[in-house]
């Protein structure tokens, strides 16, 4: 089955700086890669996704890149704000979603 | 639009007891998922329903876990008997259809087995 690894497990950045979270996957059949944000006491919420026929996608301060050859994808958050503090999960989908282990992002004011 | 509803939000039981969780998906969503999220890990799919039929239950421990979605709307997940390792957050999600349709998650039920 699919295996998704995510790094780092924790990340602290100064407000206004950029944050980068990286994931690798094992199943070359995976073709959909969503990113979720989970705040304390809430369920995960989709923030951006990318499909295998696209190398990069951007939505305001959030961007995702995908390298299918290397089987890795990354989340980039620019101009970070305190409300970006949360746990972020990457996921890969062939027939079902397989999640990474999460990154706890802390924005330091 | 109302989101995915789950109850209870918290539950504490002793090992070997039984417990049930309830989920009401977003109206009109045909696909419903139950995930288990152990502390410090990502969610893991337990079972996926399309309307009232099971699409994938390959990771559901069927000796103790069961789930149903009888009328194709709300769903119940049951654990009987519970083990210590079942302590986790149980998340319900729904989507318009399966595949790459966006999944909307409920707030989860935090289960503690003592």
pLDDT above 90 for A89:
yes
For residues A49 and A56, give the distance between their C-alpha atoms in angstroms, rounded to a whole number.
10
The answer to whether B1 and B22 have CB atoms below 8 angstroms apart is no
pLDDT above 90 for B17:
yes
Per residue in A4-13, pLDDT (tens digit) is: 999 999 999 9
Write down the pLDDT at residue B28.
92
Token pair belonging to B70: 């009888």
Would you call B5 an interface residue with chain A, using a CB distance cutoff of 8 Å?
no
Per residue in B45-90, pLDDT (tens digit) is: 999 999 989 999 999 999 999 999 988 899 999 999 999 999 999 9
The answer to whether B90 and B75 have CB atoms below 8 angstroms apart is no
Write down the pLDDT at residue B1.
66
Of A4, A34, A43, the CB nearest to B107: A43
Give bridge partners of residue B5 from the DSSP assignment. Answer: B24
Write down the pLDDT at residue A35.
98
> What is each CA distance from B77 to A10, A39, B6, B21, in whole angstroms?
32, 24, 11, 5
Count the Cβ atoms, other than its own, within 10 Å of residue A47. Answer: 18
Would you call A61 an interface residue with chain B, using a CB distance cutoff of 8 Å?
no
The answer to whether the Cβ–Cβ distance between A101 and B42 falls below 8 Å is yes
Residues of A in contact with B103 (CB under 8 A): 46, 97
The answer to whether the Cβ–Cβ distance between B43 and A101 falls below 8 Å is no
Best mutation target, B2, B26, B43, B107, to test chain A (most A CBs within 10 A): B43
Residue of B nearest to A93 (CA): B100
Strands (E), B51-106: 53-56, 65-68, 75-79, 88-95, 104-105
- First-to-final CA distance of chain A: 41
């Amino acid at each position: 089955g699919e295996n998704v690894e995510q790094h780092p497990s924790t990340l602290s950045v100064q407000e206004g700086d950029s944050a980068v979270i990286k994931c690798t996957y094992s199943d070359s059949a995976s073709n959909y890669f969503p990113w979720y944000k989970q705040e304390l006491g809430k369920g995960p919420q989709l923030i951006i996704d990318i499909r295998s026929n696209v190398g990069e996608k951007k939505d305001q301060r959030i961007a995702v890149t995908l390298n299918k050859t290397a089987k890795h994808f990354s989340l980039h958050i620019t101009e970070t704000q305190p409300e970006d503090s949360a746990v972020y999960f990457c996921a890969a989908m062939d027939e079902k979603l397989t999640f990474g282990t999460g990154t706890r992002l802390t924005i330091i004011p | 639009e109302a989101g995915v509803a789950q109850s209870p939000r918290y539950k504490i039981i002793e090992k070997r007891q039984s417990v049930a969780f309830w989920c009401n998906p977003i109206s009109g969503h045909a696909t419903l998922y139950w995930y288990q999220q152990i502390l410090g890990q990502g969610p893991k799919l337990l079972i996926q329903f399309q309307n009232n039929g099971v699409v994938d239950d390959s990771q559901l421990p069927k000796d103790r876990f069961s789930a149903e979605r009888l009328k194709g709307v709300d769903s119940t997940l049951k654990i009987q008997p519970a083990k210590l390792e079942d302590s986790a957050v149980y998340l319900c999600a729904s989507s318009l259809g399966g595949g790459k349709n966006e999944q909307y998650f409920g707030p989860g039920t935090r289960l503690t087995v003592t």
